[in-house]
Amino acid sequence: MKSRWNDADAKMFVDEALAAGQDAELGLRVYSSRLIGSDPDLVLHGGGNTSVKVTDASGERLMHIKGSGWDLDSIAAPGLPAVRLDPLLAAREGPKLSDPEMVALLRANLLEASAPNPSVEALLHAFLPFAHVDHTHATAILALADQPDMRATVAAVYGRRLAYVPYVMPGFDLSIEADRIYREAPGCEGLWLENHGLFTFADDARKSYELMIEFISMAEAELARKGVALTGPQASDGPCDAALAARIEAALQSAAGSPFAKGVALDYRSTPAIRAYASRPDVEALSLRGTVTPDHVIRIKPWPLVLERGASDADIAAGLAAYARRYQDYFERNAAKAAEPKTMLDALPRVILVRGEGMFALGANAKAARIGGDLCEQMARVITAAEAYGTFTPISEADLFDMEYWTLEQAKLKVAG
């Protein structure tokens, strides 16, 4: 992976920020955020987040942090709302905060009451003592992060440059744990989040961005060391079975309790990587392990429905019924252990994999389906690479359930919608 930093482009963003009465560092933050967001091998559709800490004219310390509902590829200053920094730092030494309490703290310290909710990882950004903090779900990182027992490998590849953070659900708990680990690893330049992604940080926007690129390149080299060639994003080039698509659409619209009763959008993808994945004899078992990074479960559910080529109406109906039973069992098994009552979401898939051919991503509209399709394309490449390297091992079912039914993530989707 290569850095795409351009000094002339960076200056343009700085000049625009200054002309608008904003801090020059905010201009650089917008620029480097867009660099990250425009690369689908770094983040996809609302994934990842960035921040910058500044001091205003009165001497108050502020942090601009990505707001929920914004994508990094098109972010602008309003998508990086300013939060008073000192009250956030005080939370590090205070009592444990519930999700609603954390959101209330963040909103209470927004400079503009109408601003979007700061990222759920805002406290972690605040605790890291650097001006610029970047977080991605890079494809190469996920292929390695979704492996069992990677602590020694990460140490061998990165030495003390990265500190290893075992999986903790995003939010207050992750902020506290990652901050503790950072403070026990003096001199580290980033955080490796098991099953999740990568953080880099520096007091300079370019340095933080280029650390991200360097560390991802090192992950690519580690994959290559074991003969794993990670392909980049691929355009769909396989024909769609239009008759099968029509049968799927009709079945989804008529299914009991369907959120697609008024219509469903299908995004079909068939790339070399997807066909290779869909042709694996163990593809259903692999897909049942979970998503490649936790927040994908909000978009594409815990697993896809797998159909045979040319599936009939009866095959599709049977597949949907079996999927619903599996999902009901998954919900009941995990909701019984939840700290608060949960209401089950619909039990229909968001991805349908056709053996040997491709994948349909399902959405209430074309945009939602396209987002699901992009996630499917990355998923196929990550899982194939992870299996070639070792064993694809994402977060546990219980952790996946907690993410799917997390109130804060559900709220994020409503904002995006």
pLDDT for 415 beyond 70: no
Provide the mean pLDDT of the chain. 95
Summarised one tens digit per residue, pLDDT across range 65-93 is: 999 889 999 999 999 999 999 999 999 99
Determine, yes or no, domain membership for 230.
Answer: no
pLDDT category of residue 417 using cuts at 50, 70 and 90: very low
Which strand ranges, in their side-by-side order, compose the sheet holding 351-354?
265-269, 358-363, 351-354, 305-307
Determine the pLDDT at residue 408.
66
CA–CA gap between residue 173 and residue 96 (Å, rounded): 8
The structural domain count of the chain equals: 2
DSSP-derived secondary structure letter, 219: H
Six token digits for residue 188: 């580290």
Is 57 found in the same domain as 189? Answer: yes
CA–CA gap between residue 416 and residue 394 (Å, rounded): 26
DSSP lists the bridge partners of residue 225 as none
pLDDT category of residue 341 using cuts at 50, 70 and 90: confident
- Model's pTM, two decimal places? 0.94
The whole-number average pLDDT for the span 141-147 is 98
Is 172 found in the same domain as 53? Answer: yes
pLDDT category of residue 64 using cuts at 50, 70 and 90: very high
Determine, yes or no, domain membership for 233.
Answer: no
Distance of CA 327 to the CA centre of its chain: 22
Is 246 found in the same domain as 139? Answer: no
CATH number of residue 313's parent domain: 3.40.225
Determine, yes or no, domain membership for 234.
Answer: no
CA–CA gap between residue 200 and residue 178 (Å, rounded): 13
CATH number of residue 25's parent domain: 3.40.225.10
Determine the pLDDT at residue 46.
80
Determine, yes or no, domain membership for 266.
Answer: yes
Q: Which residues contact 141 (CB under 8 A, 6 or more apart)?
A: 192, 197, 198, 215, 216, 219
Summarised one tens digit per residue, pLDDT across range 206-264 is: 999 999 999 999 999 999 999 999 989 999 999 999 999 999 999 999 998 899 999 99
Determine, yes or no, domain membership for 235.
Answer: no
Determine the pLDDT at residue 307.
98
Reference 382, options 205, 187, 144; nearest CA is: 144
Domain membership of residue 149 as a residue range: 7-225
Determine the pLDDT at residue 409.
58
Is 291 found in the same domain as 219? Answer: no
Quote the crossing angle between the two packed helices 99-108 and 407-416, to the nearest 10°: 50
Domain boundary, last residue among 225, 257, 283: 225
CA–CA gap between residue 118 and residue 79 (Å, rounded): 9
Reference 173, options 236, 92, 52; nearest CA is: 92
Domain boundary, last residue among 225, 256, 272: 225
Is 169 found in the same domain as 23? Answer: yes
Is 351 found in the same domain as 284? Answer: yes
Determine the pLDDT at residue 331.
97
Summarised one tens digit per residue, pLDDT across range 298-316 is: 999 999 999 999 999 999 9
